[in-house]
Chains A and B, each alone.
Chain A
Amino acid sequence: MEASSNANDFIGIAIAAYGIEADEIELAVMRAAHEMFWPPILELLDLDNSEAPVEPTPDLSRAPEER
């Protein structure tokens, strides 16, 4: 999905699907946010992390345990 061309469609469909009500200003903010966030989110989703280690409940107060 290309954010810049489809932001209007996406936001309209998404808020209808979720039952979210939004006024015109809120919709404008949502469209702008979508254009900013969606392309890098797509890149993130495309990353191949299949070899990535898993930390199901990481202890963020210390380094990851050696594997």
Chain B
Amino acid sequence: MNEALDLSLREQTRAIAAGETDAGELLEATLRRIEERNPTLNAVVETFPERSREMLAAAPQGPLHGVPVVIKDEWPLPWRAQRFGAADMLADSAPGESGPYRALRDAGAVIVGVGNMHELGASSTGNVSVYGPARNPWSTERCPGGSSSGPASAVAARLVAGAVGADGIGSIRYPAAYCGLTGLKPTFGRSAMAGHHMAEVSSTIVSGPLCADAADCRLLASVLYGEELRGGEVQGLRIGVIRDEVSEDVAPAVREACEAAVEDLRRETGGEVREIELPELAAATLATVLIANGESLNNVTRERLNHLDPELSPLGRGLLKYRILLPAAATVKSAQLRAIARRRLAAVFADVDVIAWPTVPAVAPPLEAPLVELPSGTLTADQANVRGGALANLTGIPAVSVPVGNSQGLPIALQLQGAWGRDELLLDAAEVLERANGRRWVDALPPLAADVLEA
């Protein structure tokens, strides 16, 4: 059964449908693997075997029939309220049928566990959580990325073949990049969001898949979107690149791998690389943070802030109290920046099909000190990562992170961003990249998973 555990999401689905793999045995094997590997990773913060068995018993013959998946601690389940990685999430939380839960259930999937996440979704690192940090299977002393830390760690370690995360400012793409996975941030509004505690106020958060490769992301995203994301041939791809800090203030190994991947994509599609300009990018990045900040503090009162759960991290408490002091005028300016950035992108996407830059400028930093060394100096990982992750959330466009290399034993990733609604094109382009490098990076296993396989 271990062989079935290590299949891709689509291969597991096919094997179950063909009667080659028994879904009940796969579920039990998955639970055993979580017991074996998770203590090292802290990727899965809760399992509920009886609930999972009940899901399987009632599973319809959908596109994910019988396949175990993990869902981030950002979504309520009928038997479990989300905790948002925090002792105090400053919002009502109760068990319920979230949109992603319904989509997975109706597709026949089996939710086998809840994935860890960074406290309050507030960082790209995943190193702070009420459950303790999740760990990166490529090096357990390194950050798995955040805020969808547990889903990424779980898939990278092959606890499951697919997981559902959420992306408010890069929170699917950063952990996908750090853990060597493919992660899709959908066009705003295309994927299931019902039941999220900020669904009514957030203009940046979307649900999305984290999987080993683009084809699995396509399968899981189709379930979350409620429509099939069809694949297509990519010819003559026009790739936009930017000469700015987001692509140049980058660790040399990351820059080299990403530039090589862009060239691979150009060559394989018979396309061309065009330089583009996004002069508002730096301001737009700050604008994203301010807008998301304002939305996350919706209805948070002074009294509430003065009675935070003491188990919330000191960093989380201090940042929450600082964030409420930020001036409303800056949020108004941010809304203007959003309009400018959206119009700029609409013009850019008349000339290019995708915009490419590194998902993150350096490989996963240490859990204990999430700092990265860049040509400009030492930055916190969050300061550095937000440069590349925020634009898609600010403007609503889709983006995908694709593994394209490895440095110091840690994954490197390229981000592709497309025009609104062109999620399918991004997955098509990601598959072209996989073929171009012989699937070298999407099939690579972290030592934790590879050692067990070889044993």
- Contact partners of B203 in chain A: CB under 8 A: 58, 60
Query: Closest chain B residue to A52 by CB distance?
Result: B336
Given contacts A18-B302, A26-B314, A40-B286, contact A61 B190 (CB under 8 A): yes
Q: Are B338 and A58 interface neighbours, CB within 8 A?
A: yes
| B343 adjacent to A53 (CB under 8 Å) | yes
Chain A min CB distance to B320 (Å): 9
B452 located at the interface, meaning its Cβ lies under 8 Å from any Cβ of chain A in the complex: no
In B79-112, which residues have CB < 8 Å from any A CB? none
Q: Is B201 an interface residue (CB 8 A)?
A: no
Chain B residues near A27: list those with CB within 8 A.
318
Instruction: Give the chain A neighbours of B189 by CB distance below 8 A.
Output: 60-61
How far apart are the CA atoms of A44 and B340 in the complex, in Å?
A: 13
B interface: dominant SS: helix
A-B CB pair tally, cutoff 8 Å: 120
Interface residue? B453 (CB, 8 A): no
Interface core residue of A20, A33, A44 (most chain B CB under 10 Å): A44
Whether B420 pairs with A44 at a CB distance below 8 angstroms is: no
Instruction: Give chain B residues whose Cβ lies under 8 Å from the Cβ of A34.
Output: 322
Q: How many angstroms from the CA of A54 to the CA of B343 in the assembled complex? A: 10
Within 8 A of A (CB), among B290-327: 290, 302, 305-306, 314-315, 317-319, 321-327
Closest to A53 in B: B339
Instruction: Please determine whether B330 and A63 come into contact, CB atoms closer than 8 angstroms.
Output: no
Q: Identify whether the interface residues of A are mostly helix, strand, loop, or mixed.
A: helix
The residue from A11, A20, A43, A58 contacting B339, defined by CB atoms under 8 A apart: A58
Q: How large is the interface on A (under 10, 10 to 19, 20 to 34, 35 or more residues)?
A: 35 or more
Nearest residue in A to B280 (C-beta to C-beta)? Answer: A47
For A63, the chain B residues whose CB sits under 8 A away are 342, 345-346, 349, 419-420
For B338, list chain A residues within 8 Å (CB). 55, 58
Q: Which chain A residues numbered 41 to 64 have a C-beta less than 8 Å away from chain B? A: 41, 43-45, 47, 49, 52-55, 58, 60-64
B283 in complex: contacting residue of A18, A36, A44, A60, CB < 8 Å: A44
* B287 on the A face (CB < 8 A): yes
For A18, what are the chain B residues with a Cβ–Cβ distance below 8 Å? 302, 324-325
Please report the C-alpha to C-alpha distance between residue A63 and residue B421 in the assembled complex, in whole angstroms: 9
Known contacts A43-B283, A44-B333, A45-B329; A25/B346 CB under 8 A: no
Please give the residue numbers on chain A whose beta carbons come within 8 Å of chain B beta carbons, in ascending order.
Answer: 11, 14-15, 18-22, 25-30, 33-34, 36-37, 40-41, 43-45, 47, 49, 52-55, 58, 60-64
